[in-house]
């Protein structure tokens, strides 16, 4: 196997039983404990490291370098040097290398899924789904590299020819989240590399090993040194690194997926150099069920949309808006399905399909939102508590009714396995509730009224709409939001736009 080159490092502070378990689970799953800069595996210049925990067991998996601005500056310098030759490669040359990377990713998808489950806590089946989804972006952009078309513009003057070229913007900083540590890198890096850019990637501190495995396979695929660089850091250095990437004149653009608060800060910092920026930020997705809907299909979609990755996705359904005539029936069906189909546990075991929250901070946030709702009179249909019998960072799948507008769960992105059910009477009322938020990433609704489908799809203030469908993401389609949910689009043919600029060329006196 390709991963035979990687090194399995000891797990610190684990019990003997845990060490045995990890050894059994990780027989073919090897992890790197170094950062990847200019084609080499390196430590931080300070030699500092930080620990990465398995969220299911709260045990330390291993350590990685705790890099700071000095390390990132070196990575940017190497990426800038690599860009001088990478930018003049042909689209076909880049396509061939991306395809080789894709082939290696597919060959190693089971090992990659194990790494992802170990550090992100996702059930193994769900992790494999993310790997397949993430691989699709590398495959897609391998093809799009050959289709970075320009334009010939009909000239209004007889002796002139007008041309528009698309060219790579330069070295880009990619800052990725912990909830999709694989797909968020391939979606960004695949597009950047296809366009002719080089990358400095800062993965989330909770999930660096997936990023490092991606870099190893990219290197084996023959992608030149300096084109992909991975810098790891703890949370304490993340702010400084983000600021440096935004302000360095050698970095032409930033792509960030994460919280709205951090995205706003990066947007402000990029203003110093009027730098290209792409932001995919938080959501507050409505999930609307109209009385004409097929309730069984709506429940299927609700389970998929709300509880994937334990509710920790930016496009998770956050507010269930249910027409009053079917409210009780839907809530009953939804509660029954939650109880019968969701099994909490360590996702390394295939029998479990609902994993832990990523860290203690996320557990506290979900608990605080729950306590606020309880104090204000919410009705807990099912769940509502931490599942401490399973592990410290597990939370019961929860269904709430009797929601009022002064509750935090009514307005905030929960990012946990808590479904909030709100009753409405009319289509106009539900649209008002759905749009009453500063976020606008995704929205979902179920209806069998074709006129209503067109009206609601147009009137929802979001960048993406799922109609009678709870899972909507594909490599072939543009991903992104409006309002405070971000700027730009990832994936699809539009994914290259973030990493290219248009150059107009006028040929005169012909």
Segment 425-448, tens digit of pLDDT: 999 999 999 999 999 999 999 999
Average pLDDT over residues 360-368: 96
Q: Are strands 49-53 and 228-230 parallel, antiparallel or unpaired?
A: unpaired
Q: Are strands 276-280 and 486-487 parallel, antiparallel or unpaired?
A: antiparallel
Give me the pLDDT at residue 8, please. Answer: 32
Are 427 and 291 in contact by the 8 Å Cβ rule? The answer is no
Give me the pLDDT at residue 147, please. Answer: 96
Q: What is the band of 30 on the pLDDT scale with cuts at 50, 70, 90?
A: confident
Q: What is the mean pLDDT of the chain?
A: 94
Asked if pLDDT for residue 15 goes beyond 90, the answer is no
Give me the pLDDT at residue 85, please. Answer: 98
Q: Is 67 exposed, middle or buried (0-12, 13-18, 19+ CB in 10 A)?
A: buried
- Please name the residues in contact with 342: beta carbons below 8 A apart, sequence gap of 6 or more: 303, 307, 353, 354, 397, 417
SS3 state at 172: strand
Q: What percent of the chain has pLDDT over 90?
A: 93
CA distance linking residue 374 with residue 204, whole number of Å: 32
Give me the pLDDT at residue 485, please. Answer: 97
Q: What is the band of 210 on the pLDDT scale with cuts at 50, 70, 90?
A: very high
Q: What is the band of 272 on the pLDDT scale with cuts at 50, 70, 90?
A: confident
Average pLDDT over residues 280-288: 96
Asked if pLDDT for residue 456 goes beyond 70, the answer is yes
* Alpha-carbon distances, residue 426 vs 292, 302, 352, 421, 453 (angstroms): 13, 21, 39, 16, 14
Least confidently predicted of 1-15, 49-63, 234-248:
1-15
Direct distance between the N- and C-terminal alpha carbons of the chain, in angstroms, rounded to an integer: 59
Least confidently predicted of 16-25, 272-281, 374-383, 440-449:
16-25
Query: Could you tell me the pTM of the whole model?
Result: 0.93
Q: What percent of the chain has pLDDT over 70?
A: 94
Listed in sequence order, the DSSP H helices in 308-359 are 327-341
Give me the pLDDT at residue 29, please. Answer: 60
Give me the pLDDT at residue 9, please. Answer: 33
Q: What is the band of 115 on the pLDDT scale with cuts at 50, 70, 90?
A: very high
Least confidently predicted of 17-31, 66-80, 172-186, 327-341:
17-31
Q: Are strands 228-230 and 198-202 parallel, antiparallel or unpaired?
A: parallel
CA distance linking residue 174 with residue 252, whole number of Å: 11
Q: What is the band of 20 on the pLDDT scale with cuts at 50, 70, 90?
A: very low
Asked if pLDDT for residue 22 goes beyond 80, the answer is no
Average pLDDT over residues 314-334: 97
Give me the pLDDT at residue 505, please. Answer: 98
Q: Read off the tokens for 205.
A: 């501190």
Q: Are strands 161-168 and 500-507 parallel, antiparallel or unpaired?
A: antiparallel
Domains of the chain: 35-49+65-281+486-502 (3.40.605.10), 285-473 (3.40.309.10)
Please give the torsion angle defined by the CA atoms of residues 222, 228, 233 and 235, in that order, rounded to the nearest 10 degrees: -130
Segment 394-415, tens digit of pLDDT: 999 999 999 999 999 999 999 9
Please name the residue that has the structure tokens 């910092």: 269
Q: Read off the tokens for 498.
A: 């973030």
Asked if pLDDT for residue 1 goes beyond 50, the answer is no
CA 257 vs. chain centroid, Å, equals 6
Three state DSSP letters for 255-308: EEECCHHHHHHHHHHHHHHCCEEEEECCCCEEEEECCCCCHHHHHHHHHHHHHH
Q: Read off the tokens for 45.
A: 């210049």
- Name the residues annotated as catalytic: 280, 314
Asked if pLDDT for residue 5 goes beyond 50, the answer is no
CA 310 vs. chain centroid, Å, equals 14
């Amino acid at each position: 196997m390709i991963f035979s080159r990687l090194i399995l490092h000891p797990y610190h502070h684990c019990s003997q039983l845990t060490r045995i378990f990890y050894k059994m689970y990780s027989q073919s799953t090897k992890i790197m404990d170094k950062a990847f800069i200019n084609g080499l595996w390196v430590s931080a210049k300070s030699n500092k490291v930080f620990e990465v925990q398995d969220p299911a067991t709260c045990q330390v998996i291993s350590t990685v370098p705790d890099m700071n601005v000095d390390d990132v500056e070196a990575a940017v310098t190497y990426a800038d040097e690599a860009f001088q030759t990478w930018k003049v490669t042909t689209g076909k040359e880049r396509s061939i290398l991306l395809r080789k990377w894709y082939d290696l990713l597919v060959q190693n998808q089971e090992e990659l899924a194990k790494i992802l489950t170990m550090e992100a806590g996702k059930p193994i089946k769900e992790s494999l789904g993310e790997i397949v989804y993430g691989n699709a972006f590398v495959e897609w952009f391998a093809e799009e590299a050959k289709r970075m078309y320009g334009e010939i513009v009909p000239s209004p003057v007889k002796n002139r020819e007008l041309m528009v070229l698309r060219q790579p913007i330069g070295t880009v900083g990619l800052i990725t989240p912990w909830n999709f540590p694989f797909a968020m890198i391939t979606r960004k890096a695949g597009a950047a590399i296809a366009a002719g850019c080089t990358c400095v990637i800062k993965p989330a501190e909770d999930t660096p090993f997936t990023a490092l495995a991606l870099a190893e396979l990219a290197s084996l695929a023959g992608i030149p040194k300096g084109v992909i660089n991975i810098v790891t850091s703890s949370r304490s250095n993340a702010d400084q690194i983000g600021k440096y990437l935004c302000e360095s004149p050698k970095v032409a653009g930033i792509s960030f997926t994460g919280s709205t608060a951090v995205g706003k800060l990066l947007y402000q910092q990029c203003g110093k150099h009027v730098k290209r920026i792409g932001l995919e930020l938080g959501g507050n997705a409505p999930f609307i069920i109209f009385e004409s809907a097929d309730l069984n299909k709506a429940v299927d979609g609700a389970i998929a949309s709300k509880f994937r990755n334990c509710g920790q996705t930016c496009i998770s359904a956050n507010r269930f808006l249910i027409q009053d005539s079917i409210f009780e029936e839907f809530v009953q069906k939804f509660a029954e399905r939650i109880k019968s189909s969701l099994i909490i546990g360590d996702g390394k075991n295939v029998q479990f399909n609902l994993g832990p929250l990523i860290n203690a901070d996320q557990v506290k946030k979900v608990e605080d939102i729950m306590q606020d709702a309880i104090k204000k009179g919410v009705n807990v249909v099912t769940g509502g508590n931490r599942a401490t019998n399973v592990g410290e960072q597990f939370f019961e799948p929860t269904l709430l009714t009797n929601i009022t507008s002064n509750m935090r769960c009514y307005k905030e992105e929960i990012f946990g396995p808590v479904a909030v059910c709100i009753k409405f009477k009319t289509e106009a009322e539900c649209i008002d509730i759905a749009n009453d938020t500063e976020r606008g990433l995704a929205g979902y609704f179920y209806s069998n009224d074709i006129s209503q489908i067109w009206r609601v799809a147009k009137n929802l203030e979001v960048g993406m709409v799922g109609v009678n469908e709870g899972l909507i993401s594909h490599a072939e389609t543009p991903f992104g939001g409006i309002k405070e949910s971000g700027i730009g689009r990832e994936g699809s043919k539009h994914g290259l736009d973030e990493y290219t600029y248009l150059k107009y060329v006028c040929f005169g006196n012909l």
